[in-house]
Chains A and B, each alone.
Chain A
Amino acid sequence: MGVHVKTTVNGDEVEFTCAEDEVLLDVLRNRLGLTGAKEGCGTGDCGACSVILDGRLVCSCLVLGAEMQGKKVETIEGMAVGQKLHPLQQHFIDGAALQCGVCTPGFLMAADALLRKNPNPTEEEIRFGLAGNLCRCTGYDKIVRAVQAAAKEMRG
């Protein structure tokens, strides 16, 4: 019983054994000690578990750990490089784009995925790009502004 998986997480080679029906979110949180991705719903509706899989934004509660064999997983824990925060992370802090912060890792992943595809998004493109992530505290105002500010800084 159990599936043995070799994969890459945040640039590190990682090996684990998981149940066939175990979702990636539970693998990250319970086996790899990466609790940045959160379970807000378990059904792919809230985006709090968002990670980037082979360059694509996914809900880790909708993907199986067993599917990770040979793939590249990026989580919130890999966003900062050493002590240097990613511009998105810095702007979220500076722009007060988080209150309770539980949705923040998911939003940062989603915003990162968006800006990789579209470095100069309009306000509407940002809002639709982040529509898969729920926030109950902020009303999204400061989140959108922080993404705009980070995008501007990243365009140089």
Chain B
Amino acid sequence: MDALGGVAASQASLRRFLHGLPGVDEAGAVARAGMLASRSVKTDAKRQAIDLAISMIDLTTLEGQDTPGKVAALCAKARNPGFGAPKVAAVCVYPDMVEVAAPLLAGSGIKVASVATAFPSGRAALDVKLADVKSAVAAGADEVDMVIDRGAFLSGRYLSVYDEIVAVRGACQGTHLKVILETGELGTLDNVRRASWLAMLAGADFIKTSTGKVAPAATLPVTMVMLEAVRDWREATGGGPAGGQMVGVKPAGGIRTTKDAVRYIVLVHETAGDDWLTARYFRLGASSLLNDLLMQRDRMATGRYSGPDYVTVD
């Protein structure tokens, strides 16, 4: 039974529910996100936003050329970004690199996140995907970032997508589950809203925009629609600060500058609200972003911009 009392009981009822969600007017959503992007975040607010952003980063490397050396360097950076900055939230790697990252991050409070389920395309049989998840969990992953079956979603087989998320959640055995919607392949904001609710119904701890392997990756309007979904989900599951389930949101891919990161924080602040401004409920999937945040942090602290030679490249 799902949290809303059985809307996912059948393909027909799930379809009715998802298609009964209020539509998203694309022009209006883009305009609203654009207006929020023009918020002016200066001085103390900027300092606060930079540290928040650093603490919410899932520092990521997802390349075919990843090696134990590369992952070890990233873990060192995660533990000690420099400039007295807070540590990041997690390091995100492929499943086979979890065994490298886990011991290096043990005791640091930094989570090990692993992509899984035939990332990034998700094109594999269910048992292969589940084996992928189990191997990541067995190697010590604290968090699993799965991808949904976009083919099934786009052909309207919502229950199939739902069942798969439920199965992955089972395989996670309590490990934190982030569900990647790959919004760049969903085409419309209506679909983003439906996929968000679908993932939350199936028990996602987080909904995540993108793999980073498809363009466009994270965008402000898409993330805004997902933030509206988690806000409404909290209302639908009991409402108010006292009750209601809080699901996290993770935009990932294409977030490279401090300005980008600050815009996402503004979006959270004015859409879902400040309850989400913690690594528990909001993450930024990124790699080069961290160095830009560090350079800006240093500039805010000293009044001078030191440049890229003064941050470590890992």
Q: Do A and B bind each other?
A: no
